[in-house]
C-alpha cells in the first residue's frame, strides 16, 4: 500500500485482489472480515462507509492481517473469535478451530437429553411491596384526575390482591447455588424458591430442586461444545477435559466470558482419566470431538489446516479411531444406563466405529450426516 489516501472501498478492492493471487478460496469474504477487524466496523457498516479514509493505525493493522492471511493463516486465528451456534468463542493458535459440522454434534446431544425442567417463579416480599406502592400511586393519580368510581374500585382490588402471597403476586425468579465438592469446582444445580404453601410466611416458601444433567465433554478444545450445551440447556452441568494446557486455558476463558463458570468445569487430562471414580455411572451424556483424521488423510488436508492447526487435535491414527476406542470404553463405565454417547468421527470409518461402540456395550447406534451430507456423528445409548 502506498502513501496515497486509502478509503474503505479501495482497501477492500486491493485486499481482495491480493488474496485472490495468494490462492484464498473466498478472497472477497476474507477481505471484508479483515477490514472489519482492522476498523472495528461490522461488515454491513463497511458498505455504508465506502468513502471513509483509513487511519494510519487501521492501515498498519490491515497490512499485518493481510500478510498473515496471504501466508495461509486461518481467518479465525487472525480475528481471534468464531461464532458457534448461539455463542461466540475465542480462538487462537494451538487450539483447533470449531467447525460448523460440530454444531450437528451438539444438536444430537440436546435432542437426546430430557427437556429443561420447568421452574415456577419465586415469591419475593420486596418486589411485592414495590408493586403495591406502584398500584397505590396509580390509584391516587386516577382519583386526582377524576376517573370513574369503577376504575378506582378495580385499582383497589389490585392492591388487595397483591397483599396475598398465594394469590398470584409473584416476582422474577431468584435462585441460590451452593457449591458441592467436584472436579474443577463445578457447582450443583441451582434451587429456586416457589410460591409459599398456604399458611406459610414468605421465608418458609418451599424449594424446587432443578433436575441436574451431568455431561462429560472430552477433548474440549475451545470449550465450544461444553459451553453450547450449558448455554442452551439450563439443567446441564459439564465436566470438560483436554490434554493440551493451551486448550484448557482457552476453554476456561470462554467459559468465564459466557458466564458459565458455575456450570462448566475444565480438567487437564487425557480423555476422562482425571474424572474421579465417584462419578462413574452418573453421567447422562458423554460427548466428544476427538482427533479422528486418519494419519494417511492428513497429507491431503488443506494447507491452512495442516500448517496452522495442531496435529495433536487432528491425528486419529491409522483408521481415525485410536482415541475413540478408549473413549467408548470409558463412556460405558461413566454413563448411567440409557445414557448417550455422541462423537464426531471420520466419514470413512463410521461402520468400524459402530462396531467399537457395540462391543463396548452400546445399543441403538445411529450415524448422523453433517451439514454437507457426509456421515459424521455417531450416537449410541448404553444398554
Q: What are phi and psi of 79, to 5 degrees?
A: -80, -25
Residue 197 and residue 102 in one domain: no
Mean pLDDT, the chain, as a whole number?
81
User: How do residues 300-328 score in pLDDT, each as one tens digit?
Assistant: 888 788 888 888 888 899 999 999 999 99
- Cα 3 from Cα 285, distance rounded (Å): 58
Instruction: Note the pLDDT of residue 54.
Output: 96
**Mean per-residue pLDDT, 246-250:** 97
> Is there a single domain that holds both residue 192 and residue 265?
no
User: What is the residue whose three cell numbers read 455422541?
Assistant: 342
Instruction: Give yes or no: residues 268 and 361 share one domain.
Output: yes
Residues 227 and 170 in one domain: no
Q: How far apart are the C-alpha atoms of 188 and 181, rounded to whole Å?
A: 9
Instruction: Report the phi/psi class of residue 371: left, alpha or beta, with left for phi > 0 and alpha for psi in -120 to 50.
Output: alpha
Q: Are 240 and 226 in contact (CB under 8 A)?
A: yes
Region 256-275: mean pLDDT is: 97
Query: Which of 36-45, 100-109, 191-200, 352-361 is predicted with the least confidence, judged by mean pLDDT?
Result: 191-200
Is 291 annotated to bind ligand?
A: yes
pLDDT score for 300 = 84
Together in a domain, 232 and 367: yes
**Could you tell me the CATH number of the domain that includes residue 13?**
1.10.8
Domain that holds residue 338: 90-117+211-382
Q: Do 112 and 231 fall into the same domain?
A: yes
The domain boundary, picked from 209, 239, 262, lies at 209
Whether residues 257 and 194 fall in one domain = no
235 is written with which cell numbers? 439443567
Residue 259 lies in a domain: yes
69 in Cβ contact with 80 (< 8 Å): no
pLDDT-based confidence at residue 130 (cuts at 50, 70, 90) = low
C-alpha cell at 21: 493471487
Nearest alpha-carbon partner for 139 in 124, 159, 163: 159
H or E segment and range at residue 192: strand 191-193
Report whether 173 belongs to an annotated binding site. no
The count of domains in the chain is: 3
Percentage above 70 pLDDT, the chain: 75
How far is the C-alpha of 269 from the C-alpha of 247, rounded, in Å?
A: 11
- Binned at pLDDT 50, 70 and 90, residue 145 comes out as low
Residues 30, 69 contacting (CB under 8 angstroms)? yes
Q: Tell whether residue 242 is among the known ligand binding residues.
A: yes
Between 329 and 315, where is the model more confident?
329
Which residues touch 357 (CB under 8 Å, ≥6 apart)? 328, 341, 365, 378, 380
Residue 2 falls within a domain, yes or no?
no
Given a cut of 60, whether residue 198 has pLDDT beyond it is: no
167, 253: one domain? no
pLDDT at 210 over 50: no
pLDDT band at 2 (very low <50, low <70, confident <90, very high): low
Model confidence pLDDT, tens digit, residues 152-184 = 444 444 433 333 322 333 222 333 333 333 455
Bin 354: left if φ > 0, else alpha if -120 < ψ < 50, else beta.
Answer: alpha
**For 76-80, what is the mean pLDDT?**
93
116 is in an annotated binding site: no
Q: Is 183 helix (H, G, I), strand (E, B) or coil?
A: helix
Collapsing DSSP states into helix, strand and coil, what is residue 366?
A: strand
Looking at the structure, do residues 145 and 263 belong to the same domain, yes or no? no
**333: Cβ–Cβ under 8 A, 6 or more apart, which residues?**
280, 281
Q: Which of 160, 181, 209 is the last residue of a domain?
A: 209
Please check the confidence at residue 70 and state whether its pLDDT lies above 70: yes
Question: Considering only CA atoms, which of 369, 362, 100, 95 is closest in space to residue 240?
Answer: 95
* Residue 246 to residue 30: CA distance in whole angstroms: 26
Region 359-376: mean pLDDT is 95
User: Domain holding 340: CATH number?
Assistant: 3.40.50.150
Could you report the per-residue pLDDT of 18-47, keeping only the tens digit for each?
A: 999 999 889 999 999 999 999 999 988 999
The helices-and-strands tally (H runs, E runs) of the chain is: 13, 12
Amino acid at each position: 500500500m502506498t502513501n496515497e489516501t486509502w478509503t474503505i472501498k479501495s482497501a477492500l478492492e486491493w485486499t481482495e485482489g491480493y488474496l485472490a493471487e495468494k490462492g484464498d478460496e473466498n478472497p472477497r469474504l476474507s477481505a471484508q472480515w479483515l477490514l472489519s477487524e482492522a476498523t472495528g466496523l461490522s461488515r454491513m457498516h463497511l458498505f455504508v462507509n465506502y468513502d471513509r479514509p483509513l487511519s494510519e493505525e487501521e492501515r498498519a493493522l490491515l497490512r499485518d492481517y493481510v500478510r498473515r492471511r496471504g501466508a495461509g493463516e486461518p481467518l479465525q486465528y487472525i480475528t481471534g473469535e468464531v461464532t458457534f451456534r448461539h455463542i461466540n468463542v475465542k480462538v487462537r493458535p494451538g487450539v483447533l478451530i470449531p467447525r460448523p459440522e460440530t454444531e450437528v454434534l451438539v444438536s444430537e446431544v440436546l435432542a437426546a437429553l430430557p427437556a429443561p425442567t420447568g421452574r415456577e417463579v419465586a415469591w419475593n416480599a420486596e418486589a411485592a411491596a414495590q408493586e403495591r406502592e406502584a398500584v397505590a400511586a396509580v390509584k391516587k393519580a386516577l382519583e386526582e384526575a377524576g376517573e370513574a368510581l369503577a376504575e378506582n374500585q378495580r385499582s383497589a382490588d389490585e392492591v388487595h390482591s397483591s397483599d396475598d402471597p398465594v394469590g398470584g403476586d409473584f416476582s422474577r425468579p431468584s435462585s441460590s447455588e451452593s457449591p458441592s465438592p467436584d472436579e474443577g469446582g463445578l457447582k450443583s444445580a441451582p434451587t429456586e424458591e416457589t410460591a409459599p404453601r398456604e399458611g406459610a410466611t414468605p421465608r418458609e416458601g418451599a424449594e424446587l430442586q432443578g433436575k441436574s444433567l451431568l455431561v462429560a465433554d472430552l477433548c474440549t478444545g475451545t470449550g465450544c461444545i461444553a459451553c453450547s450445551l450449558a448455554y442452551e440447556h439450563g439443567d446441564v452441568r459439564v465436566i470438560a477435559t483436554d490434554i493440551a494446557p493451551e486448550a484448557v486455558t482457552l476453554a476456561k476463558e470462554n467459559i468465564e466470558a459466557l458466564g458459565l463458570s458455575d456450570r462448566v468445569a475444565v480438567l487437564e487430562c487425557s480423555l476422562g482419566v482425571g474424572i474421579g471414580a465417584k462419578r462413574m455411572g452418573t453421567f447422562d451424556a458423554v460427548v466428544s470431538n476427538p482427533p479422528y483424521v486418519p494419519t494417511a488423510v492428513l497429507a491431503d488436508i488443506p494447507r491452512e489446516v495442516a500448517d496452522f492447526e495442531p496435529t495433536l487435535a487432528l491425528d486419529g491414527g491409522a483408521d481415525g479411531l485410536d482415541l475413540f476406542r478408549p473413549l467408548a470404553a470409558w463412556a460405558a463405565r461413566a454413563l448411567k444406563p440409557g445414557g448417550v454417547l455422541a462423537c464426531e468421527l471420520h466419514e470413512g470409518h463410521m461402520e468400524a466405529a459402530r462396531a467399537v461402540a457395540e462391543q463396548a456395550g452400546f445399543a441403538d447406534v445411529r450415524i448422523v450426516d453433517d451439514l454437507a451430507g457426509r456421515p459424521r456423528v455417531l450416537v449410541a445409548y448404553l444398554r
